[in-house]
Structure 1
Amino acid sequence: MTQQTVTLRQTVLGSGRPKIAVPITGATEAAILAQATAVKAAKPDLVEWRIDYFEGVTDAQQLTATGTQLRAALGDLALLTTFRTHGEGGELALSDDAYFKICDAVIAGGYTDAIDVERYHNETAVKAVVEKAHAQQVKVIMSNHDFDKTPVAAEIVQRLTSMAAFGADVPKMAVMPQSVEDVLTLLTATHQAASTLAQPIITMSMADLGKVSRIAGEVFGSAVSFGTVGAASAPGQISLTHLQHDLDDLKLTD
């Protein structure tokens, strides 16, 4: 299996140390740009703009204006734009139609390097968004989040595999552990999927119990870990400075 890499500006996913993404979660343009200044100074590998926190997210014009300002503020830092639906741990409950309109607006805005697309919506609509993104040279990180439990390893691998089949550049799966065994299940599934899929993948076991999965990606096959500068956007995220040291300490030598 030839392992592909995915390049977002100067950041290459799927090669070497897992790359660190830091979320921006501001509700207003001013808060978003202030966070961007702090995040850029901390030097992550990429930024995830969580637009479900942004109060203007349903106004395409306002979204594009703020996204364009954010793009300018980040300079050469790679940008992933994510609307996380309420059912998968996000801030705002929307209909599927409204969700896909926001995805379309992000792609048309011309400011993002990658977009997060949730796998478990209408399959025709998901595939259409992937096509639109790729037509604009926007990479797709396709995701699924289970905040209640950890599915069996075969199910995790199947979900990641289906994302690859739907055209995802990077399949992503996050699960909630209820036991140490659940964390081992996620790590086992990560290794299996990374060994069988050509695409880089992102996985994590959430909360305190799953923190080990956020630093062990190079060993098990997860290409990105999400750290924090200020506010966290998911349970179990580790501060950027600690995460950088942890990933360096666990680096595999050639």
Structure 2
Amino acid sequence: MKTARHPSVLKAATQDAVEASPPAPTTHQGPTLICTIVTADTTDAAVTEIREAEQFGADVVELRLDFLKDINLLDPAPTLKRLLDACEAVKLPAIITFRPAWEGGQFKGPEPLRLAVLKYAAVLGAHYVDVEYLAANFFFASEGEVPLSTKVILSHHDYDETPSDEILEALVGEMFKGGADIAKIATTAQQIEDSARMLALPGKSSGPVIALAMGEKGLTSRLLAPKFGGYLTFGALSPTQTSAPGQPTVTELRNLYRLQNQSAATQVYGIVGNPVSHSRSPALHNAALAAAGLDAVYVPLLVDELRPFLDAFPSFSGFSVTIPHKLAALECAEEADPVAARIGAANTLVRLSGGGLKAFNTDWSAAISAVEAALGGSRQGGESALRGKNVVVLGAGGAGKALAFGAIERGATVLVCNRTREKADALAEALGSGASAVEYAEVASGRVAGDVLMNSTSIGMHPREDESPVSAEALSGYGVVFDAVYTPLETQLLRDAKDQGCITVSGLEMFVGQAAEQFELFTGKPAPVDLMRQATLDSMHSS
């Protein structure tokens, strides 16, 4: 067996060739398991969490002995037996982990004692034990101490980065040569492209692999593990009980992302943005996909730069696009719908049969329709209620362009303001006659106003819920105030507008409307609009 190497040496070992793995491991063929981690600090609390794990729908439970304060390491049998009996009672296989501080765990005691406890857990019938790769030599030093009925997971954690593909593949190969039944690698995602590389790792291995990227940019590796053949993925019992950054809950994995239904053929859609954790798009779209009976899933995608992300996930079928990528979405598309091209921004990308992407903009019609309804709907003869109105648009980004374009299309006069005046000037010029730019401060203070105010900025969105893009006094002259922000449902801007006697239009209507159009572009099926609206509201009320 090879001598275990220090992590810094391991990362530098790119020149090491991956030798042939032993024949015993075979690529994982069964369903990807959902594991939850018990991190209670007492045995009583751990038993309670084991029962909760079964109730929430976990397939496996990982017992972190290093968190327990009441375990007697000189006589661990009572604690181990009680925990394993609790798992047996609810028919949950157990992974016994005793993570040392040098691998990110809590245990700071002697290694021989730690490894002896793990071996004893195996003797007592644990389905799995998790052993750090760098301790494998010592764990396997004496043959016959670990029964073959216990599967050994050799694990490696990198809390700084995701190493190169060459290092990752070499590490997996060495784990199997070193005695692993299952190889586990958890890295830190510095960008979402790292998640793509971790997802690909199980498919490159001769044996079962758990490959996960930590952090929000690594969330995709957890949500799509079944599609890419991962042995298991992790979910917390609740949002407050996560054991690693970016970890979803077991309930989300089962009910929202339907992991038990995913396969290699599952189509993937997602919301691309930064930030994106606040988005209700996964709740809305996954509900619609499930209702339509489609083998598809929709995931949040925290993206720094759009082009590298698109290159890293060429098999994904389509994307909703939000701040700040709507302009880049149009630039990255091989084709564009004429409306998106005219607006100069896209909120939807759909995969073409040849592999490229086509850009659409569904923002403008959803928002404009909601504002028209607030103004009383169409006039006699089908004329828009916006015709002849003075509309002030806050923001000149992708959403602002869509709102301004829609208002001009409906016959309104548009004033564009943006914190950077040059962007407002450029948008007004692009809109042509009927549009002009104005200083942001003029609108924010109320010195310039109109009939309708439409906010396309992110002010009022998490984490700026208590802020408004304009003063409350500035709203007194408007008849209708629309806010594209939909989380929270009633922003500070809308509260102020209501106090000033304005009719308010929540971003929820725009959100549901644009998503319904996206769903139809993605799937070719009619959108269940009422279901999508209710799913969004349910998601907002449950958070």
**TM-score, length basis structure 2:** 0.41
User: In 2, Cα distance between the equivalents of 1:182 and 1:58?
Assistant: 40
CA contact (8 A) 1:67 1:111 kept: no
Aligned with residue 84 of structure 1, among 96, 99, 104: 99
71-80 or 148-157, which moves further after superposition?
Answer: 71-80
- Structure 2 residue 37 is the aligned partner of structure 1 residue 29: no
How big is the shift at 1:82?
A: 0.5
CA contact (8 A) 1:82 1:116 kept: yes
Aligned counterpart, 1:8: none
CA contact (8 A) 2:133 2:155 kept: yes
Q: CA RMSD in A?
A: 2.4
Aligned counterpart, 1:226: 234
Aligned counterpart, 2:308: none
- Structure 2 residue 132 is the aligned partner of structure 1 residue 118: yes
Aligned with residue 155 of structure 2, among 143, 161, 172: 143
Q: How is 1:117-196 mapped onto 2 (pairs within 5 angstroms)?
A: 117-121=131-135, 123-128=136-141, 131-135=144-148, 137-193=149-205
Provide closer, same or farther for how the CA distance between residues 98 and 118 of structure 1 changes in structure 2, counting only shifts above 3 A: same
Q: Aligned letter for 2:44?
A: A
> SS of 1:141's equivalent?
strand
Aligned counterpart, 2:215: 207
How big is the shift at 1:191?
A: 2.9
Aligned counterpart, 1:10: none
Aligned with residue 104 of structure 1, among 119, 124, 133: 119
CA contact (8 A) 1:112 1:138 kept: yes
How big is the shift at 1:132?
A: 2.0
Structure with bigger RCO (C-alpha 8 Å, 6+ apart): 1
- Structure 2 residue 63 is the aligned partner of structure 1 residue 49: yes
Q: Aligned letter for 1:32?
A: A
CA contact (8 A) 1:46 1:78 kept: yes
Structure 1: runs of 5+ lacking an equivalent:
6-13
CA contact (8 A) 1:16 1:218 kept: no
CA contact (8 A) 1:81 1:114 kept: yes
- Deviation by residue 1:171-228 (Cα, 9 ceiling, x = unmatched): 11000011223223323334322xxx1x211110011110000021223231100111
Q: Aligned letter for 1:48?
A: E
Aligned with residue 18 of structure 1, among 10, 24, 32: 32
Provide closer, same or farther for how the CA distance between residues 189 and 72 of structure 1 changes in structure 2, counting only shifts above 3 A: closer
Higher helix proportion = 1
CA contact (8 A) 2:209 2:230 kept: yes
- Structure 2 residue 86 is the aligned partner of structure 1 residue 73: yes
User: In 2, Cα distance between the equivalents of 1:116 and 1:175?
Assistant: 16
Provide closer, same or farther for how the CA distance between residues 189 and 251 of structure 1 changes in structure 2, counting only shifts above 3 A: closer
User: In 2, Cα distance between the equivalents of 1:201 and 1:115?
Assistant: 15
Q: Aligned letter for 1:242?
A: E
> Considering only CA atoms, is the larger Rg found in Structure 1 or Structure 2?
2
How big is the shift at 1:104?
A: 2.8
Q: Aligned letter for 1:59?
A: L
How big is the shift at 1:249?
A: 5.4
Q: Aligned letter for 2:242?
A: A
Provide closer, same or farther for how the CA distance between residues 252 and 191 of structure 1 changes in structure 2, counting only shifts above 3 A: closer
- Deviation by residue 1:102-151 (Cα, 9 ceiling, x = unmatched): 3233234x041110011112x5313237842235x211011000111111
Aligned with residue 64 of structure 1, among 69, 74, 77: 77
- Deviation by residue 1:56-101 (Cα, 9 ceiling, x = unmatched): 345242x321221222222221111011111222122233333323
Provide closer, same or farther for how the CA distance between residues 234 and 130 of structure 1 changes in structure 2, counting only shifts above 3 A: farther
How many pairs align?
238
Aligned counterpart, 1:39: 53
Aligned counterpart, 2:299: none
Aligned with residue 110 of structure 2, among 92, 95, 100: 95
CA contact (8 A) 2:152 2:181 kept: yes
> SS of 2:69's equivalent?
coil
